[in-house]
Amino acid sequence: MYADAFGIRPVLREMARELAGHGYYVLVPNFFYRHGPTPVVELPAHIGEEVRPGVIAQLMPLIEAHTDERVLSDADAYLRFLTNQPEVSAGPVAVTGYCIGGLLAMRTAAARPDQVAAVAGFHGPVGADGPDSLRRLLSTLTGQVHLGHAETDMTPEALDELNQALDAAGVDYTSEIYPGTIHGFTMSDTDAFNPSALQHHWDRLLPLLDRTLASA
């Protein structure tokens, strides 16, 4: 479970516990670990719109420093850790992510198609780097995919283009705009939080994991 850019905090721990309660071993990495322990920047208990720009400004240099090389070497380390845990069943894994974590999840799945059977991204910037980058990302993806987009992040026209790229790559996917949502809708410690959209996210994520990991 890749966090959003704000990183590991109570809401992420709560979501990880929810997922673990369904029988899954859940790893939530601090992917900014090179810059210190989590949280890498000071976060208020509620990340409201009045403080969000300042927090994002602090995080942008960390996001920009998180190169593709770092993403993939870290993904290998996370997968090695998971597969070496005695509580973890043999077989494939699933990767999910939020905001920038959604892109990290997709990159992990594309880089390790032999291990990743399912990937889900929510309000993430998948496809934001342009069609060529998207085609490269999708070219090696073999797992089942669910993408849940915020209404403010994705126009219907952009969704059609993304879904056409998924179709062209032969990906087994669902990809949809969650109605009435803004970026960050799964996170209960932000102004973007939408309880019904969070439930919709679980209604999409849990069946995906059940289909792809239940036999593992």
One-letter identity of residue 138: L
> pLDDT tens for residues 38-96?
989 999 999 999 999 999 999 999 999 999 999 999 999 999 999 999 999 989 999 99
- Residues 104-125: what's their mean pLDDT? 96
Which residue among 4, 66, 99, 123 is the active-site one? 99
Q: Is 149 among the residues known to form the active site?
A: no
- Residues 9-29: what's their mean pLDDT? 97
Which residue among 146, 149, 183, 200 is the active-site one? 183
User: Does the pLDDT at position 215 exceed 70?
Assistant: no
Which residue among 66, 123, 153, 201 is the active-site one? 153
- Can you tell me the distance from the alpha carbon of 7 to that of 95, in angstroms, rounded to the nearest whole number? 16
- Residues 200-215: what's their mean pLDDT? 93
User: Does the pLDDT at position 216 exceed 70?
Assistant: no
Residue 13: alpha-carbon gap to chain centroid:
15
Question: Would you state the pLDDT for residue 130?
Answer: 84
pTM of the model as a whole: 0.95
User: Does the pLDDT at position 21 exceed 60?
Assistant: yes
Candidates 106, 93, 117; CA nearest to 139 is 106
Q: Is 153 among the residues known to form the active site?
A: yes
> pLDDT tens for residues 162-199?
999 999 999 999 999 999 999 999 999 999 999 999 99
